[in-house]
Structure 1
Amino acid sequence: MKSLIYTLTIVLLFSISSCKKIIEVDAPIDRISSGSVFLEDGTALSAVLGLYSSLASQTPTFSDGAATIWMGLAADELNYTSTDAEIIAFNTNMLTSSNSLVYRDFWRNPYEIIYQANACIEGLERSASLTSLLKKQLTGEALFVRAFCYWYLVNLFSDVPLILNTNYEHNSLIPRTPAQNIMDQIILDLQTARGLLSINYPSDGKLRVNYYTATALLSRVYLYRKNWQAAEEVATEIISSGKYSLETDLSKTFLIGSNEALWQIAQPENSLFNTIEGSRLAVSLAGTAIPAYTISPSLNSSFEIGDKRKTSWTATKIVGGVTYNFSYKYKVRFSTAAKTEYCIAFRLAEMYLTRAEARAHLNNLAEAAADLNLIRNKAGLTDFVGTDMNAVLGAVLKEKRVECFAEYGQRWFDLKRTGQLDKILSNIKSAWIPNAALLPIPITELNLNINLNQNPGY
Structure 2
Amino acid sequence: MRHFKNTIQLKFTLLFASLLLLQSCSDFLEQEPGTQTSITEQLKDKQGVLQALKGLYGKLEAVVRTEPFTVYADLQGGNLKFSPSLKTGASKGLIANPDSVAGIYAFGDRSDASNVSSFYASCYDVINQTNLFLEFTDALPDATDAEKNQIKAEALTIRAYAHFLLSELFSQNYSYTADASHPGIVYSKASVNEKLTYPSRETVADTYAFIIDDITTALNLYSDTALLSGPAYSYFNKTSAKALLARVYLYKKDWKNAYDTSSDIIANSGVTLVSSDNYIAQWEQTDLPVSEILLEFSIPRNDEGNSSLSMSTFYGYTSNSNYGNYVASMDLVNLYENDDIRKQLFLVRPLVTIVDLESVTLNYNFTKKFQNNPGYVAFRLSEQYLIRAEAALGLDNPEQAKTDINTIRSRAKATLLTDTNNIADALFLERRKELCFEGHLFCDLARNKKDVSRNDGCISLICSLTYPSPKYVLPIPLRNLNLNSNLKQNESY
Output the TM-score relative to the length of structure 2: 0.80
1:93 corresponding residue in structure 2: 107
Give the deviation of 1:350 after TM superposition.
0.4
Give the deviation of 1:121 after TM superposition.
0.9
Contact 1:219 1:230 in 2 (8 A): yes
2:489 corresponding residue in structure 1: 454
Contact 1:86 1:100 in 2 (8 A): no
Give the deviation of 1:230 after TM superposition.
0.5
Q: Kindly name which structure, 1 or 2, has the bigger radius of gyration based on alpha carbons.
A: 2
Look up the equivalent residue of 1:181 and give its one-letter code.
D
Partner-residue secondary structure (3-state), 1:98: helix
Render the CA deviation track for 1:106-145: whole Å, top value 9, x for unaligned. Answer: x011001000111011111343542111111111011111
Q: Distance in 2 between matches of 1:314 and 1:448?
A: 46
Question: Which of the numbers 438, 444, 447 marks the counterpart of 1:414?
Answer: 444
2:55 corresponding residue in structure 1: 50
In structure 2, do the counterparts of structure 1 residues 372 and 83 end up closer, same or farther at CA, with 3 Å as the change threshold?
closer
Question: Which of the numbers 112, 122, 125 marks the counterpart of 1:112?
Answer: 125
Contact 1:266 1:274 in 2 (8 A): no
Q: Distance in 2 between matches of 1:419 and 1:314?
A: 32
Tell me whether 1:40 sits opposite 2:72 in the alignment.
no
1:336 corresponding residue in structure 2: none
Tell me whether 1:309 sits opposite 2:311 in the alignment.
no
RMSD: 2.7
Alignment of 1:326-337 (within 5 A): 326-332=366-372
Q: Distance in 2 between matches of 1:72 and 1:252?
A: 22
Contact 1:313 1:328 in 2 (8 A): yes
Alignment of 1:51-200 (within 5 A): 51-57=56-62, 61-62=63-64, 66-80=68-82, 81-105=95-119, 107-158=120-171, 159-167=184-192, 170-199=195-224
Q: Distance in 1 between matches of 2:335 and 2:489?
A: 36
Tell me whether 1:400 sits opposite 2:431 in the alignment.
yes
In structure 2, do the counterparts of structure 1 residues 208 and 23 end up closer, same or farther at CA, with 3 Å as the change threshold?
farther
Q: Distance in 2 between matches of 1:91 and 1:417?
A: 19
In structure 2, do the counterparts of structure 1 residues 274 and 375 end up closer, same or farther at CA, with 3 Å as the change threshold?
farther
Partner-residue secondary structure (3-state), 1:264: strand
90-99 or 290-299, larger mean C-alpha shift:
290-299
Q: Distance in 2 between matches of 1:345 and 1:93?
A: 25
Q: Distance in 2 between matches of 1:180 and 1:426?
A: 34
Contact 2:67 2:100 in 1 (8 A): no
Tell me whether 1:370 sits opposite 2:441 in the alignment.
no
Alignment of 1:25-36 (within 5 A): 26=36, 32=39, 35-36=40-41
Look up the equivalent residue of 1:98 and give its one-letter code.
D
Contact 1:11 1:47 in 2 (8 A): no
Contact 1:97 1:442 in 2 (8 A): yes
Q: Distance in 2 between matches of 1:353 and 1:275?
A: 30
Partner-residue secondary structure (3-state), 2:294: strand
For structure 2, list consecutive stretches of 5 or more residues without a partner in the other structure: 1-13, 83-94, 172-183, 353-359
Contact 2:331 2:455 in 1 (8 A): no
Give the deviation of 1:64 after TM superposition.
5.6
Give the deviation of 1:361 after TM superposition.
1.8
1:17 corresponding residue in structure 2: none
In structure 2, do the counterparts of structure 1 residues 12 and 439 end up closer, same or farther at CA, with 3 Å as the change threshold?
closer
In structure 2, do the counterparts of structure 1 residues 299 and 201 end up closer, same or farther at CA, with 3 Å as the change threshold?
farther
Tell me whether 1:259 sits opposite 2:259 in the alignment.
no
Contact 1:278 1:328 in 2 (8 A): no
Give the deviation of 1:210 after TM superposition.
0.8
Give the deviation of 1:172 after TM superposition.
4.6
Give the deviation of 1:274 after TM superposition.
6.6
Q: Distance in 1 between matches of 2:262 and 2:109?
A: 35
Give the deviation of 1:98 after TM superposition.
2.5
1:278 corresponding residue in structure 2: 312
Q: Distance in 2 between matches of 1:145 and 1:318?
A: 41
In structure 2, do the counterparts of structure 1 residues 148 and 430 end up closer, same or farther at CA, with 3 Å as the change threshold?
same
Give the deviation of 1:307 after TM superposition.
1.5
Look up the equivalent residue of 2:167 and give its one-letter code.
V
Partner-residue secondary structure (3-state), 1:321: strand
Look up the equivalent residue of 2:75 and give its one-letter code.
L
In structure 2, do the counterparts of structure 1 residues 25 and 125 end up closer, same or farther at CA, with 3 Å as the change threshold?
farther
Give the deviation of 1:160 after TM superposition.
1.9
Render the CA deviation track for 1:365-388: whole Å, top value 9, x for unaligned. Answer: 222211111111111213112224
In structure 2, do the counterparts of structure 1 residues 103 and 76 end up closer, same or farther at CA, with 3 Å as the change threshold?
same
Render the CA deviation track for 1:212-244: whole Å, top value 9, x for unaligned. Answer: 010000000000111111001011111111521
Q: How many residues align?
A: 431
In structure 2, do the counterparts of structure 1 residues 289 and 279 end up closer, same or farther at CA, with 3 Å as the change threshold?
closer
Q: Distance in 1 between matches of 2:394 and 2:25?
A: 45
Look up the equivalent residue of 1:47 and give its one-letter code.
A
Q: Distance in 1 between matches of 2:324 and 2:376?
A: 20
For structure 1, list consecutive stretches of 5 or more residues without a partner in the other structure: 15-20, 333-338
Identity over aligned residues, as a percent?
27
Q: Distance in 2 between matches of 1:150 and 1:63?
A: 16
In structure 2, do the counterparts of structure 1 residues 194 and 242 end up closer, same or farther at CA, with 3 Å as the change threshold?
closer
Render the CA deviation track for 1:76-103: whole Å, top value 9, x for unaligned. Answer: 1112333533422222222111234310
1:436 corresponding residue in structure 2: 471
245-254 or 378-387, larger mean C-alpha shift:
245-254
Q: Distance in 1 between matches of 2:139 and 2:411?
A: 49
Output the TM-score relative to the length of structure 1: 0.86
Partner-residue secondary structure (3-state), 1:326: strand
In structure 2, do the counterparts of structure 1 residues 156 and 25 end up closer, same or farther at CA, with 3 Å as the change threshold?
farther
In structure 2, do the counterparts of structure 1 residues 23 and 414 end up closer, same or farther at CA, with 3 Å as the change threshold?
farther
Look up the equivalent residue of 2:110 and give its one-letter code.
T
Contact 2:474 2:490 in 1 (8 A): yes
